[in-house]
Structure 1
Amino acid sequence: MPYRFVSLIAAALLALPAGAAPVFDNPLVQQRADPHVTLQPDGYYYLTATAPEYDRIEVRRARDLNGIGKGESKVVWRKHAAGPMSASIWAPEMHRIDGKWYIYFTAGRADAPMDIRLYVLENAAANPLEGTWKERGQLKTGWEIFALDATTFAIGGKRYLLWTQRPPASDKHMTAVYMAEMDTPLSITGAATLLTTPEHPWEKIKFDVNEAPAVLVKNGRVFVTYSASATDANYALGMLTADAGADLLDARSWSKSARPVFASSQATGQYGPGHNSFTTTPDGKTDILVYHARSYEHIPGDSLHDPNRHTRAQAIAWRADGTPDFGEPVADKAADSSRP
């Protein structure tokens, strides 16, 4: 390689700003909604997400988040032929807790696909693409009604479950976000706390929805994002905030954003961003928002039957007051050819 060419490359690299935010090859994975990504001490990023057929749970891993779409992958579980866990396999999240892997997911029945509940799988292997995933049954939330989108996190020596459920006294089909302490990775203890219900107009477009909580602990605070409205271009993220040292099971500890913190952008061609998770760069210096979105606005028919919610990622900026600035969903690196 000519010396002059090498010198030009070196000069270009030196010209990059220090600590420049990573740029991702969006979409990272085609036709994977509700993405959950975790970076583990073994150096791998692990991804679980909803497949458009709603029939299976797949685990992917790669050492580079940009390579997760082409990384190792394995279908670790498939829906049952009938009965519980035979339809609507949604929103799997994989967490490493006390030396074991757990996948929390949503499932319905073939004869009632929208009568959904929370379920758990467990695997004791070090590598979740190996070993045996055992069904550990339903994760009970205290009442038997429409429930989905479980996540978990630990702080202050306690582990919590957050999830979406239809309030027991609700007279309409709306969903809210709840939180409870966990006594084991398979169960909650004590009463559930109602964190948020749809109240702003942007949370009630077509459907009254607060769902898909995700947790980010930073700068002495706990940030919980959630998704609102129908799963089309109206889908958007809201956010709750509490002090990390507060009683997180006291609803009064939380404040709620009055406006969406992340929403569709005609400028970048991204629509319905939501159902996110959080991870970091390998050095832990940059926080990353992982989410799904479509590259077109108008969807014929039911948006849940449109398969083209793709997994995407972008770096998070931080404001001077210590709160996250998600900006707007960035444009895809290449044209999306999946549009119907």
Structure 2
Amino acid sequence: MQRFFIYLILFISAFLLFGWYFSNITSYLILSLILAALLRPLTNRLNDFHVLGQHIPRWTAILISYSAIILLLITVSFLFFPLINNQIQILSNLDLEGIYQQIQRPISNLEQTLLNYQLIESQPGFLFDEFKKNVISAVSGFDFGNFIGQVIDTTSTLAIGLMAVAFITFFLLLENGILRRNLLNLIPNPYFELSVATFTKVERLLSNYLSGLLFQMLAIFTIASIGLSILGIEYALTIALFAAVANLIPYAGPILGATFGIIVGVSTGIFIEASEVTYLLIKILMVFGVVQLTDNILLQPLIFSKTVKAHPLEIFVVIFAGAKIAGVLGMIFAIPVYTIFRVSVLEFFKGYKSYRIFKIKSTN
């Protein structure tokens, strides 16, 4: 038995090392597994559907499922097109001289205060001239060619990633359960029963976790969109959708959602007095305060504690460990990966105490 656990630890270590070294391939595989788990129910239903007395071919059902995802993404993108168009119009009509005049007053007041207390010694208007000079220097120093090159590199990387994920997901759905069967075939017969129990529990927990995440996103989108719409915030659905997706990033997601809402609200609003901006910020922060309280008190305990069956302190440590290893993607995938290893270890330890085969091997 001791030898078995040594082999298990070596296997886990090798698996983690492989995942770290080939991080791109690992991320593609994880995304494909998640996408396959989400599309499998729809694909199976379409595959069972009869047309002229014949089942729809599985490859056709997969392509229809892909089409549903593409249609959903196109529908979602329509929420962002008006906002992007609005920002382009604002930038094209940008009055730099008017902006300078608006900024000049608070800078002049600050400068006058510093001069009154003799904290600086300079001519009036020095701070604003320095500010204007730095802005012009930053704009003129912007390397547009390098920016275009980075955009092209990022676009090509995303395109390759999407193709890889789509390819892997297609065959995972086409050969339904082939990955699980191949993994189980590698397991020796004495540990087969325990391995099946482990796989079943991991699949159930991950399925519950994904369902919980979808429910969390829907709840956040609903609360944020209704709240922002009632308070008269423009592009309420767009802000709510961004907040729901950003909330996939633990801890940082709600801050990103609120920041995006504030930026959109301030950039698209028409304000006559400064108090109107303050009132707008208060309304947006109120909505996201309600969203955050609902998420922290109701949604996260329901998803993490109930579906993953882990202590909140465990989740906290695991998420920050994932952030240290792989940044934002590490934070998103930390809980599913931790669930797999946690359940595997617990099930094998339980099997060590319960299954007769371990006791027989330990006495030999």
Which of the five TM-score ranges fits, normalised by the shorter chain?
Answer: under 0.3
Structure number with higher relative contact order (C-alpha < 8 Å, ≥ 6 residues apart): 2
Higher helix share goes to which structure?
Answer: 2
Q: TM-score, normalised by structure 1?
A: 0.21
Q: Which structure: larger Rg?
A: 2
Q: TM-score, normalised by structure 2?
A: 0.20
Higher strand share goes to which structure?
Answer: 1
